[in-house]
Structure 1
Amino acid sequence: MRFLDRSTAGHQLARTLAPLLNGPPDGAVVVLGLAPGGLPVAAEVAEALGAPLDAAVVRPLAVRGHDRPVGAIADGDPPLVDRDTLRSLGVTAAELGASVKRERVEVHRREALYRQGRDRLPVQGRTAVLVSDGLTDALTTRAALHALAADRPERLIVAAPVGDARVAADLRHDADAVVCLHLPRYAHAAGPWYGEFHEVTDREAAVLLHRRTPPGDRPLAGRAPRHAARS
């Protein structure tokens, strides 16, 4: 299976998701795009479901000199770290700390730029649907799921047009449901599964969010910081 582009994939994904979401009343579903690449897919899902759209901003933790990420960080959460990778690469606490500091700044920059002064949408008591353009990296998606779970949604669903079968299986421990249209045995990157696959810019991400965030949807104010460490 190969998708024309992210928008087409989003339409197809929405048709699969709709039967799973028939139960919640209006306003009980929030769609979150794993930003930036997941936002064009998520925007189509949100449009089809009549749900508000928000961004889930996650950054991989990279250490200079190594191509392989050693973890991921989302929002105000402590970093989610692959300790086996840390040990195998010999990454020091100082190197990890520098990466966490650098990427936390980038998470905050992107959140501010994408939302343009709007607070994040509340997910407590609602069905939160996290949408990616491809489930190829368990660490990044898991960090987003952990951040959302801390806000106590009623249900937590992760969805994507394509995903590595092993990654999708791993993520079933972190979500109530994993919905994927195509599950090849190996999918190390999302791009090859799309006919058109461009890098989503910050501006494009901000425009997508602005179009799909209803002005009447109450922002989440006074959110307490999270302190519980995860590994």
Structure 2
Amino acid sequence: MRFLDRSTAGHQLARRLAPLVDGRGGHRVVVVGLAPGGLPVAAEVAELLEAPLDATVVRPLVVPGYDRPVGAIADGDPPLFDRYTLRSLGVTAAEVGASVKRERVEVHRRESLYRQGRARRPLLGRTAVLVSDGLTDALTVRAAVHAVAAERPGRLILAAPVGDARLAAELRDDVDELVCLHLPRYAHAAGPWYGEFHDVTDSEAAVLLRRHAASALPGDRR
């Protein structure tokens, strides 16, 4: 399966999600896009579900001199490290301290830019639908899941158009529900599964969130 673009994939994903969130225990729904790349997908999901849209930002942690990420960080959370990679590179978590500091600042910058002064959507007791454009990077997705779970939603659904089958199987225990339209045996990047796949800019991400903030009804619709 190959998707035309993120918007088309988001529409298909929303149709799969709709029966899962309709009338479930009175919990209101909030769609959270893994920004920036997951936001165009999440925006389509939020529109079809008539739910508010928010974002979470995760940044990779890289040791100077190495291209391979050794961890990831989300807003408000401690860093999530790949202990195997740290050992294989012969470095300790303390040695990536500069990267942690730098990327935490970048996470805050992006979230502030995307929200443009708007408050974070409350997730406490609600159904949170965390949407990515692809479940292909374990560190990034797990950091996002942890960040959303820390907000104590009543139910956490992880959703994506495409995902690595083995990673998806591992992630199922971390969420209440996992929805993925296409689960190839190997999917190391999301891009190859889309006809059009560009780097989503900060300005695009901000516009998507602003549009949905303007269209949301007082008190949210679900």
Instruction: Give the TM interval when normalised to the shorter protein.
Output: over 0.9
User: 1:181-192 counterparts in 2 under 5 A?
Assistant: 181-192=181-192
1:216 aligned partner: 218
Please, what TM-score do these two structures have when normalized by structure 2? 0.95
After superposition, give the CA deviation of every residue in 1:50-88 in whole Å (9 maximum; x if it has no partner): 000000111111112112111111111101111111111
Return the letter of the residue paired with 2:56: A
User: 1:78-89 counterparts in 2 under 5 A?
Assistant: 78-89=78-89
Q: Which has the higher helix share?
A: 2
2:179 aligned partner: 179
Structure 1 unaligned blocks of 5 or more:
219-231
Offset of residue 23 of structure 1: 2.2
Secondary structure class of the residue paired with 2:123? coil
After superposition, give the CA deviation of every residue in 1:118-172 in whole Å (9 maximum; x if it has no partner): 1110000000000000000111111111111111101001000000001111111
Return the letter of the residue paired with 2:123: V
What CA distance in whole angstroms lies between the structure 2 residues aligned with 1:217 and 1:9? 28
Secondary structure class of the residue paired with 1:209? helix
Secondary structure class of the residue paired with 1:70? strand
Return the letter of the residue paired with 1:216: P
Q: Is the 8 A contact 1:27 1:51 kept in 2?
A: no
Give the CA RMSD over aligned residues: 1.4
1:7 aligned partner: 7
Q: Is the 8 A contact 1:14 1:45 kept in 2?
A: yes
Q: Is the 8 A contact 1:121 1:217 kept in 2?
A: no
What CA distance in whole angstroms lies between the structure 2 residues aligned with 1:120 and 1:8? 27
Residues 25, 116 of structure 1: CA spacing in aligned structure 2 closer, same or farther, 3 A cutoff? Answer: farther
Offset of residue 174 of structure 1: 1.0
What CA distance in whole angstroms lies between the structure 2 residues aligned with 1:94 and 1:182? 38
What CA distance in whole angstroms lies between the structure 2 residues aligned with 1:12 and 1:73? 29
Give the total of aligned pairs.
Answer: 218
- Runs of 4+ more than 3 Å apart: 24-27
